[in-house]
Structure 1
Amino acid sequence: MTHSDDQHTDSPAIALLKEVGAETVKHSGGTLLTHLLRVEALLAAWGARPALRTAALCHAFYGTDGLPLVLLELSERARLAEAIGAEAEELVYFYASCDRKASYPGLAAADGEAVTFRDRFTGEEFTPTPRQRRDFAELTVANELDLARVNESFRERNGAGLLDLFTRWAPLLSEAARREVTAVLG
């Protein structure tokens, strides 16, 4: 899936991404900005709501458990919120804050079961809402599927593990996301 930033030319999010250098950072399949645009486009194709699509476009601002690159410090959260809105910024923070080792295993527990999410920035553990869990799962799947699509060695190294994880997360995923998991990972 290719994507251009033409539809985003006036976007404060794109302006901020360019300001902090996302279009010059090398990343699988091109630059970090092209990756972010592809992830956002994938979520749009799945019918995700605007705040989640915007969070996808900006999901790398605070770094992640898998990508230590930080485009904005946490002390600048208000700056990102001003550019993309409070709901989208909260989703970006939630995504970036995930301690994957502690949080991934139980994310898809049935509603009512204990789900522990650990914030890697604060060490706090809490139970995310069902919507937070679904948003997090959709964004994670879109991000990882984009990497698997454009980077064969990533897919060979991580594909089986991701397929297992995303199969367990299936109750959290949209039908479109589940179909894409099967198409990309088997």
Structure 2
Amino acid sequence: MTVTAVELLEAAGAARIEHPGGTLLDHLKRVEAVLDTWGARPALASAGLCHAFYGTDGFPTSLLELEHRAALAEAIGAEVEDLVYFYASCDRKASYRGLAEQDGLFRDRFTGAEFPPTAQQRRDFAELTAANELDLAAVNPDIRARYGSGLRTLFGRWRPLLSAPAWAHCRDVLG
């Protein structure tokens, strides 16, 4: 029997972790759905569902330790796991500013390694970040009020990386 990503998330406790708009699992499902509505390729939408397995720079709760990367890749697919790791590994302070620049550096918060991500990595990261942050802003007016201006500025800088549906959603949620 194949275990689904939702079953893995449930087993890891995502349905019991409070998060804006309900539980972490609720949020993850919404992020996947947003990416689907934007026309994201299946691997990126699946990464939206799974993006919190290793925690993030903004949400440190980890559902799975990094030593289990191979097991997660076997369960959700290597491409999806690579996207999940890349998203989780982002040192936001070091990486966000230069993400839209071809030679901008990305810092892995787990290893400290810095490198220029590929164009595809930059686009995927920007789309997943937008879907994640826009979900939080849409379900929680306090988050939108506190972070909306900064997110508008960030996504404006990332505009070349965002799909037309993602950019339209940014404008709809953030004004």
Give runs of ≥4 in structure 1 deviating > 3 Å: none
Alignment of structure 1 residues 7-156 onto 2, 5 Å = 12-109=4-101, 111=102, 114-156=103-145
Question: What is the match of residue 167 of structure 1?
Answer: 156
Which blocks of at least 5 consecutive residues in structure 1 are unaligned? 1-9
Please tell me the residue identity of whatever aligns with 1:24: R
Aligned residues: 174
Q: Distance in 1 between matches of 2:135 and 2:63?
A: 20
Which blocks of at least 5 consecutive residues in structure 2 are unaligned? none
| Post-superposition offset of 1:11 | 5.9
Question: What is the match of residue 178 of structure 1?
Answer: 167
- Find the residue that maps to 2:15 and give its secondary structure: coil
Tell me the TM-score normalised to structure 2 length. 0.98
| Post-superposition offset of 1:80 | 1.0
Q: Distance in 1 between matches of 2:37 and 2:46?
A: 13
| Post-superposition offset of 1:138 | 0.1
Please tell me the residue identity of whatever aligns with 2:106: F
* Percent identity of equivalent pairs: 66
Q: Distance in 2 between matches of 1:53 and 1:152?
A: 25
- Find the residue that maps to 1:23 and give its secondary structure: helix
